[in-house]
Chain A
Amino acid sequence: MPSEISKELFEHLVELAALGLKPEEAEYLHNELNKQLNVIEELASISLDDSISAASHGVPYSASIRPPLREDQIIPSGISTEILDQTPETEAGYIVVPKIPHETLE
């Protein structure tokens, strides 16, 4: 039985992702997600024995090609002004944000 992302789960994901969606946009995205999920379901049919491990990269990073570890070095970037210039709002070198809501964790 193919899985489906329910409306409730979809809304939960949207909230977690901090996305506000317009209704028609939500409908399109929800529909596309379920179409993609149909394709992904094929993975469930592949037999995988225990000898097959997860690959974090296709290329195995053997010791011979891995960049060697080195001592930490301090290299001043000299670009802190350029970086802060990208910030929508700053005050005395600090980034200004709106009030941070406090939530009580259960």
Chain B
Amino acid sequence: MELCDLPAHELAARIRNREVSAVEALDSALARVRAVDGDPGRLEGFREDGDRVHAFITLTEERARARAISIDEKIGKGEDNGPLVGVPFTAKDIFTVKGVLATAASRILSNFVAPYTATPIQRLEAAGAVMLGKVNLDEFTYGSSNESSAYQPAPRNPWDTSRVPGGSSGGSAAAVAAGEGAFSLGTDTSGSIRQPAAFCGVVGLKPTYGRVSRYGLIAFGSSLDCPGPLARNVRDAALMMNAIAGADPRDATAAAVPVPDYTADLEKGVKGLRIGLSPDYGQLTFFNHDTGQLDARPLPKEISEAVARAADLFSNLGAEIVENVSMPHTRYGIPTYFVISRVEASSNLHRYDGVKYGYRTQEKVANLRELYRKTRAEGFGPQPKLRILMGMYVSAAQYAEQYYQRALRVRSLIRSDFDAAFDPNGKHRLDALLTATTPTTAFPMGQLYGDSVLMQYADQLTVTANHAGVPAISIPAGLSSERLPIGIQFIGPDFSEAKLFQISRAYEEATETESWRAEKPKVLATV
């Protein structure tokens, strides 16, 4: 096994014990990038190789090498370098790192060199981790496939490079699955960590809103955005959370809740825990344009079977499975999201104007207004433009009551479903709800892109946790007959990340010897 395929916790232990150096760990990860990634994304003149992952936008090799050398020197002097010492990782290119390009996968930020570092990145580096580079995403995180990135070629799924890695943290999930870094820092606004994690067969956690600081995160939906980990196993995700969680004087929404050791309860098992199943997460409800009616379709058999199998497994391990938990407002997740996220996105996007930083039109302009118009027309791709226009419409004075104010109240209803399910004195008293993560496995590139409504429905099973603010994790739960990863999701009450890790680890351990665990992404067949 190459160093780059080792779990982060094992790699850090070997570096700490001086069995390998941080420089060797870095070289292994860089060799993997060269072997599988192909050309990084760019705005023009890109070269696409259909067999490559194309996860990266910016490789920060020099910066990483300087850090790795300095870590090795400190270890040589017997200094403690933190729990993630020497572990190479990637960051979604939506976080700022001082002195490094921060593009948000958009032309409008294509020349923006960040003057400061995001808190979660600063904390990962303080824990000893070494950033390899910045990876691709949907433009400004607006999508579920990565195809909307202004930086092409878009990332591909390491399990089948004709398919999408999911999104918006698609470059993160693809890189982690392919061994390009042991873990990645992503963000989740409606499923953007969990859906690509499910599509690429890795672990992805959306923490409780406010558990991880958003300082240095380029904003999308400010009341929904959550930075969080993508990793190849549960323990590594827990170690990442140990590093990044906690209050931050630079983000007033970062909650003042003490951070536990997320690895402490990992091996405690699920005996006595109450895990719920809800029929409302067993189907996909969507608006049919042809009939003008709501249609409900059951999830594909292979996905619902993965959920049922997990429930059986937990039952055998001593958990109590609570069936028929009613979550009646689940289906409002997408329409509510179409309103709230658009209003927040359009507000957040007004700052990009070609005046203070980022891209400015090269055309001659008569006045400031024309500068704005040309810069924004050239700088934004179609997905940001759609969100700006919809956000302005549904928050306009004459429509706000009908749409925006109403959506904020429906968010309370969605939250009330979870409050009832998790109420310690209630009917169900759940520790977690078990659902599928996605309504499909990874879809072929080009299949949904362009249809902004169908693309949004990829998030139907994940978006409710963003509305409610509660934490949710996706873990690998097998492969489909097409050898594509299937993810299952656990959703828990506020700040219950440790419990979600505990449940996830129990599943991981109980399925360790299953044959699908030995299968690797196709791109690794040639390395």
Contacts and interface: CB of A to CB of B under 8 A. Distances in A.
Asked if A and B bind, the verdict is yes
Nearest to A32: B452
Given A5-B393, A32-B452, A44-B402, A101 B367 contact: yes
A14 B368 CA distance: 17
A44 to B, nearest CB: 7
B377 A19 contact: yes
A57 B403 contact: no
Contacts of A79: 115-116
Nearest to B359: A88
Contacts of B346: 17
Contacts of B382: 25, 28-29
Interface in B311-353: 332, 334-336, 338-339, 346, 353
B210 interface: yes
Contacts of B75: none
B415 interface: yes
Interface in A18-60: 18-21, 25, 28-29, 32-33, 35-44, 46, 48, 52-59
B403 to A, nearest CB: 6
A67 interface: yes
B257 interface: yes
A93 interface: no
B424 to A, nearest CB: 16
Contacts of B488: none
Contacts of A44: 402, 406
A77 B116 CA distance: 9
Interface string B119-146: 0000000000000000000000000000
B373 A18 contact: yes
Helix, strand, loop or mixed for chain B's interface? helix
A83 B358 CA distance: 11
B453 interface: yes
Interface stretch (B170-178, B262-270, B384-392, B429-437): B384-392
A56 B368 contact: no
A104 interface: no
Contacts of A58: 209, 223, 411, 414-415, 466-470
A65 to B, nearest CB: 4
A42 B360 contact: no
B364 to A, nearest CB: 9
Dominant SS among interface residues on chain A: loop
Given A20-B374, A48-B409, A86 B113 contact: yes
B389 A14 contact: yes
Contacts, number: 200
Given A16-B392, A48-B410, A100-B368, A67 B256 contact: yes
A46 B413 contact: yes
Contact of B356 (A18, A56, A95): A95
B231 interface: no
B419 to A, nearest CB: 10
B494 interface: yes
Contacts of B392: 13, 16-17
A68 B247 CA distance: 11
Contact of B389 (A2, A29, A53, A61): A29
B385 A21 contact: yes
Contacts of A41: 335
Contacts of B516: none
Nearest to B248: A67
B368 A97 contact: yes
Contacts of B301: none
B355 A97 contact: yes
Residue of B407, B450, B466 contacting most chain A CB atoms (<10 Å): B407
B386 A32 contact: yes
Given A20-B374, A40-B339, A86 B358 contact: yes
B154 interface: no
A35 B288 CA distance: 10
6 contacts: A19-B385, A32-B386, A57-B209, A58-B411, A58-B415, A88-B357
Interface of B: 98, 112-113, 115-116, 208-210, 223, 247, 249, 252-257, 287, 289, 292, 294, 332, 334-336, 338-339, 346, 353-358, 360, 365-374, 376-377, 380, 382, 385-386, 388-390, 392-394, 402-403, 405-415, 450-453, 456, 466-470, 494
The 10 closest A-B pairs by CB, nearest first: A58-B469, A59-B469, A54-B408, A86-B357, A82-B115, A20-B377, A88-B360, A18-B372, A58-B468, A65-B255
Interface of A: 2, 5, 9-10, 13-14, 16-21, 25, 28-29, 32-33, 35-44, 46, 48, 52-59, 61, 64-68, 70, 77, 79, 82-83, 85-89, 95, 97-101
